[in-house]
Structure 1
């Protein structure tokens, strides 16, 4: 129970720690991506602003514009504005006289034409007349569409002649922001949302406005009849939640240069947090990374390294025909290549360690399954030891040493039996050193049978074992070879226990047989059972990870056994027939005789 509680505590701690680490990593990653997205969104916005600011600057010097202000034909100027607006993707270009009345516009032929409208009340007109240039973001009084009005005064010999105005709408910019995968919005110095990928946020405010400021905005009709409601965004632990949007976000803020605007980008974080937490929790539960993922990573890096080797060779051949100035590039490419090769070697070492840890975890799982039987086997000699000890004490009290000595001798024999059991289990749980060596096959089979003694007794199975010469050795590692034998025999025991027929049955052959034969430089170990057998599709999937026919199995035991035998330089195969049982055949290299 103490072990179970400690294990439960460690598991809970590992899961909690993995969740915390996963959340931190995910937040850092999303924060980095949000900063990059904000930088990109800012670049898109600045590019549009700088392009549109150049339009009134150029048109203010256009002779046609100046002639229109002094009374010449304005129809040609309307058509010219229309062509320029289409080319620059401006919403509207229009010319105001010194009184603020539009005398030419790119939308002259539309029902909502600006020609003849009085815009003297607009700040962009009044500020331009005073300061020469002005910019104002406002809601169009005619089109009812928001945009940025960029204006420039046109001066004549006797003073101001008028104002050229370009209205910019940011639909394309907002569409580009949407492609970043999150939400973005721009606020002015008062906190009013001017641009947003969320249409319902437009003209909301980040913070409540003073009554005087709100009244001034409504009086100027800058944002029409917008209610200027608060933008419901809350911050909690580095995450942002917003009304109308599902989930939580990471926020990145950029100041828009040359304006009083602020750009905010929100990238979703919930999915990244869940993904990182799930990944780390699975890794903590399994102790190691999935073998297939590591193998795929190694193969991918190998292909990339080979591709770089080919590219480097081609570049080197071309550089031999060129000037010596290119040699520095080749040296840099070679340095990067060597670093990647070294990284691949380190990844291979980590993969080897991960495989060893997975094998150890499998052995520990096997030990857990046989623990109940082993405890029963140990409890029997312990009860006998107590009886013999009480008898010995009684004989000593009666001053009868001979039977007391006999009882003590039996106690010694029973303790040796317990020691043999625990030594076998302790050796089975140890991790190997990773190198193969001549290993006595008989010792490995005896050790595996000792570990499985209790399950065999409980299942009523008496295995048949071919006599193995004590000097027959194979190239392997004792602990891992025992692990393979235990896994295969334990699978046979479970198959026999699940079979409807009794272990003995009417067939005189043993229900579980372990056969050994020598074939030249190879040693063949066959483990056969008379269980229910498997179908051809089940046999084909035996050595596929996470494919199992057991209700509570993980589908990793046979994969690990196959991998262990392959590292020994041998093979593990299976042959099964439904209703006739299975035969698992291990072929190992025979150790050379001294």
Structure 2
């Protein structure tokens, strides 16, 4: 008889119990390790996605304010108020800035004269009005007067509210007459971040926190600042009397960050991305403990059930070697015990699954919110393009306005002299110029409007003409020859008018920027008609697209521009795909973009 068979039943049960305990311990350790690795990967991916998305939205918020100082610096009302100091003109300018600040959600907009004194401000009615304050010491004033423009984040000396000051010089570099400033405040951005569970903050190149969802972290640093530098920063009054001490965070292994004094969640995974068009870095701290607990619980319960099943099978083999009566009693006892344990663990697993389903539902809602934000980002991209061409369209409007004034003055003199026929011709010319201005402004309003989702029959020529109205002045301003090759008969395609114009304006804008500063430049815009499709080709004779960029041109955040976000062509590609068409790019003596759309007639 073997040694195993000579063992008494109690000894066999002891050995079986030890083996089962070892099995469960091993499965539990393996489950905890695997769950932790999976949870870390999931949380890190979520943090990186959240950081990239929030950086893009923060950049969009800044871009909304950047066009204001540039446009106001060319505004005749601003120049007239600075040059004349007429109280009536300054009162009118105050009201105008107040309306602009309300419409654009700017913190404050104000105009500073060449001596550094604010003469008008959008908050002129408030006790904290900027009017009359001296801002000659502010870097955004001194740098704008010499460099043409400057951006500076600081704590307001009057309002005591932090914000990004975006300034632009008024007048030529040789004879500047002042500076116009728009202050972007991020209260709403920080409020949106606070509604999420993941702390979010933005740092400057010195690692000082500027914008944050945790109010106590503002103007603190993530790395130590030397004492001499700290005193110099405080002396500049950029951050008031902030102590500039360290954040209460502790870096751990594996990219973990601990917040020892936090209420609730204390362990996080950090993701950091650059904010496009700025020198800032956005940080997101994604909570870790809850995901680790849920993943660990689910994995360990699964391992436990598997181990119990294995132990149960082994126990049945041992029990069958005993007498039939004892076997039945033992099997019944084990079944009851196993069922009780499985029942308890099943309840726990069911609870864990409920929590996981709730988290999945929350993720689906977050994805829906992200899709909505992407639509808003597409609209913001359109408005950013409109802001870039606004100054050139203003010049386009100024020419017929000046001509209208001349013809009106001459018409009055001709009427006094009795030269009615000549005067009638002047007034007819005025009517024609007025219609021209109306066409330009109507095109801008239609382009800025949010387009409906309906797709149908669109005439191609009016869409091309509308896009040329918006970019025509930039073509003439850069001495770029436009060669049109359009079919004599009208062609209609499957599209949506204003979104098609958005694509054309984006392609023409890119071509103009590629040709800027070159001699003998030319843009060719041609239409090729096939029985079932229409090809619209926009080509330039510039340097073309770099090969490494051409392969990933329609991937988000791919750009050849130093301050570009890399979303314009991605949005255009998606719009064309929604029409049932396609957008391709190639090099052929320059950049060539081919827009293919379904033909209807």
Q: TM-score, normalised by structure 2?
A: 0.51
Match of 2:247 in 1: 231
Asked whether the 8 Å contact 2:217–2:247 carries over to 1, the reply is yes
- Aligned equivalents of 1:154 and 1:10: distance in 2? 79
- Aligned equivalents of 1:243 and 1:454: distance in 2? 58
Match of 1:68 in 2: 81
Q: Which runs of 5+ in 1 are unaligned?
A: 289-356, 378-449, 460-485, 495-547, 557-594
Distance 1:204 1:553, change over 3 A: closer
Match of 1:138 in 2: 154
Deviation of 1:138 after TM superposition, in Å, equals: 0.5
- Aligned equivalents of 1:98 and 1:203: distance in 2? 31
Asked whether the 8 Å contact 1:151–1:166 carries over to 2, the reply is yes
Aligned: 1:250 with 2:269? yes
Bigger mean CA offset, 263-272 vs 3-12: 3-12
Asked whether the 8 Å contact 2:55–2:276 carries over to 1, the reply is no
Aligned: 1:554 with 2:342? yes
Deviation of 1:364 after TM superposition, in Å, equals: 4.5
- Aligned equivalents of 1:33 and 1:157: distance in 2? 48
- Aligned equivalents of 2:95 and 2:120: distance in 1? 9
Distance 1:209 1:62, change over 3 A: same
Deviation of 1:211 after TM superposition, in Å, equals: 2.3
Distance 1:270 1:555, change over 3 A: closer
SS of the residue aligned with 1:208?
A: coil
Map 1:327-338 to 2 at 5 A: none
1:218 aligns with one of 234, 239, 246:
234
Deviation of 1:158 after TM superposition, in Å, equals: 6.0
Match of 2:16 in 1: 3
SS of the residue aligned with 1:215?
A: helix
- Aligned equivalents of 2:341 and 2:31: distance in 1? 24
- Aligned equivalents of 1:203 and 1:153: distance in 2? 29
Distance 1:64 1:365, change over 3 A: farther
Map 1:425-574 to 2 at 5 A: 450=324, 453-455=325-327, 490=332, 552=340, 554-555=342-343
CA displacement 1:384-426 (0-9 Å, x = unmatched) = xxxxxxxxxxxxxxxxxxxxxxxxxxxxxxxxxxxxxxxxxxx
1:26 aligns with one of 39, 43, 54:
39
CA displacement 1:440-491 (0-9 Å, x = unmatched) = xxxxxxxxxx4xx2256xx7xxxxxxxxxxxxxxxxxxxxxxxxxx97xx38
- Aligned equivalents of 1:146 and 1:26: distance in 2? 37
Aligned: 1:97 with 2:113? yes
SS of the residue aligned with 2:239?
A: coil
Match of 1:162 in 2: 178
Map 1:33-432 to 2 at 5 A: 33-71=46-84, 72=86, 73-156=89-172, 159-238=175-254, 239-245=256-262, 246-287=265-306, 363-364=313-314, 366=316, 370=319, 374-375=321-322, 377=323
Distance 1:549 1:285, change over 3 A: closer
Asked whether the 8 Å contact 1:38–1:265 carries over to 2, the reply is yes
CA displacement 1:309-349 (0-9 Å, x = unmatched) = xxxxxxxxxxxxxxxxxxxxxxxxxxxxxxxxxxxxxxxxx
Deviation of 1:3 after TM superposition, in Å, equals: 3.5
Match of 1:291 in 2: none
- Aligned equivalents of 1:243 and 1:136: distance in 2? 33
Distance 1:128 1:21, change over 3 A: same
Bigger mean CA offset, 191-200 vs 12-21: 12-21
CA displacement 1:503-555 (0-9 Å, x = unmatched) = xxxxxxxxxxxxxxxxxxxxxxxxxxxxxxxxxxxxxxxxxxxxx89994535
- Aligned equivalents of 2:341 and 2:239: distance in 1? 65
Deviation of 1:13 after TM superposition, in Å, equals: 1.6
SS of the residue aligned with 1:554?
A: helix
Distance 1:155 1:230, change over 3 A: same
- Aligned equivalents of 1:97 and 1:91: distance in 2? 20
> How many residues were matched structurally?
325
Deviation of 1:130 after TM superposition, in Å, equals: 1.4
Distance 1:285 1:107, change over 3 A: same
- Aligned equivalents of 2:29 and 2:194: distance in 1? 35
- Aligned equivalents of 1:365 and 1:119: distance in 2? 86
Distance 1:22 1:151, change over 3 A: same
Distance 1:41 1:112, change over 3 A: same
CA displacement 1:296-320 (0-9 Å, x = unmatched) = xxxxxxxxxxxxxxxxxxxxxxxxx
Asked whether the 8 Å contact 2:73–2:170 carries over to 1, the reply is yes
Deviation of 1:363 after TM superposition, in Å, equals: 4.7
Tell me how large the CA RMSD over aligned residues is. Answer: 2.6
- Aligned equivalents of 2:295 and 2:338: distance in 1? 30
Deviation of 1:43 after TM superposition, in Å, equals: 1.3
- Aligned equivalents of 2:173 and 2:233: distance in 1? 36
- Aligned equivalents of 2:55 and 2:183: distance in 1? 20
Match of 2:29 in 1: 16
Asked whether the 8 Å contact 2:194–2:214 carries over to 1, the reply is no
Asked whether the 8 Å contact 1:119–1:125 carries over to 2, the reply is yes
Distance 1:243 1:110, change over 3 A: farther
Q: TM-score, normalised by structure 1?
A: 0.51
- Aligned equivalents of 2:107 and 2:116: distance in 1? 19
- Aligned equivalents of 1:220 and 1:25: distance in 2? 48
Asked whether the 8 Å contact 1:37–1:180 carries over to 2, the reply is no
Deviation of 1:203 after TM superposition, in Å, equals: 0.3
- Aligned equivalents of 1:13 and 1:59: distance in 2? 71
Distance 1:555 1:228, change over 3 A: closer
SS of the residue aligned with 2:176?
A: strand
